[in-house]
Amino acid sequence: MNKFGGRLSWIGLAMAGKKSPWGGASSGGESPPEDDTEGTDDAANAPERPAPDRPSRAEGQSGPRNPWLPPASPERKRPSNIEDLFRRRGGGGGGGPIPSFNLPQRPGGGSWVPVGVGLVILLWLGTSMVHRIAPQEKGIVTTFGAYSSTLSSGVTFTLPWPIQSVTVKDVTSIRRDSIPEGEGEKLMLTSDQNLVDLTYLVRWNIKDLKLYTFQLAEPDQTVREVAEASMRQSIGEVTLNDAMGSGRATIEQNVRERMQQVLDAYRSGVKIQGVEIKKTDPPAKVVDAFKDVLAAQQDAQSEVNRAEAWAQQLTARAEGESTAFDKVYNQYKLAPEVTRRRMYYETMERVLSQTDKVIMEAPGVVPYLPLPQMKSSAPVPAPTQGR
For another protein, the closer CB: 51 or 382: 382
C-alpha span between 196 and 278 (Å, rounded)? 13
C-alpha span between 251 and 262 (Å, rounded)? 16
Among 215, 274, 276, 281, binds another protein (CB under 8 A): 215
Binding of another protein by 193 (CB under 8 A): yes
Helices 219-235 and 248-265, axial angle in degrees (round to 10):
140
Binding of another protein by 144 (CB under 8 A): yes
For another protein, the closer CB: 183 or 326: 326
Using CA atoms in the order 354, 360, 361, 365, what is the torsion angle rounded to 10 degrees?
Answer: 170
313 burial class (0-12, 13-18, 19+ CB within 10 angstroms)?
exposed
Binding of another protein by 187 (CB under 8 A): yes
Binding of another protein by 194 (CB under 8 A): yes
Check whether the bond before 180 is cis (ω within 30° of 0): yes
Closest contact distance (angstroms) between CB of 52 and another protein is 28
C-alpha span between 168 and 131 (Å, rounded)? 9
Binding of another protein by 4 (CB under 8 A): yes
SS3 label, residue 270: strand
Binding of another protein by 232 (CB under 8 A): yes
Q: Are 123 and 109 in contact (CB under 8 A)?
A: no
Binding mask 305-344 for another protein (x = CB under 8 A): -xxx-xxx-xx-xxx-xxx-xx-xx--x---x---x--xx
Closest contact distance (angstroms) between CB of 101 and another protein is 15
For another protein, the closer CB: 181 or 225: 225
Distances (CA, A) of 175 to 219, 232, 274, 279: 13, 21, 11, 20
Binding of another protein by 121 (CB under 8 A): no
Specify the stretch interacting with another protein by CB under 8 A; choose among 12-20, 62-70, 93-101, 302-310: 302-310
For another protein, the closer CB: 57 or 231: 231
Q: What is the DSSP letter of 111?
A: B
C-alpha span between 185 and 275 (Å, rounded)? 19
Interface of this chain with another protein, residues 28 to 57, rule: CB under 8 A: none
193 burial class (0-12, 13-18, 19+ CB within 10 angstroms)?
exposed
Binding of another protein by 250 (CB under 8 A): no
Interface of this chain with another protein, residues 262 to 301, rule: CB under 8 A: 262, 265-266, 282-283, 285-286, 288-290, 292-293, 295-297, 299-301
C-alpha span between 277 and 246 (Å, rounded)? 12
For another protein, the closer CB: 249 or 378: 378
For another protein, the closer CB: 50 or 236: 236
Binding mask 195-214 for another protein (x = CB under 8 A): x--------------xx-xx
Q: Are 72 and 35 in contact (CB under 8 A)?
A: yes
Binding of another protein by 236 (CB under 8 A): yes
Among 361, 364, 365, 376, binds another protein (CB under 8 A): 361
Among 74, 135, 182, 367, binds another protein (CB under 8 A): 367
Interface of this chain with another protein, residues 85 to 114, rule: CB under 8 A: 111
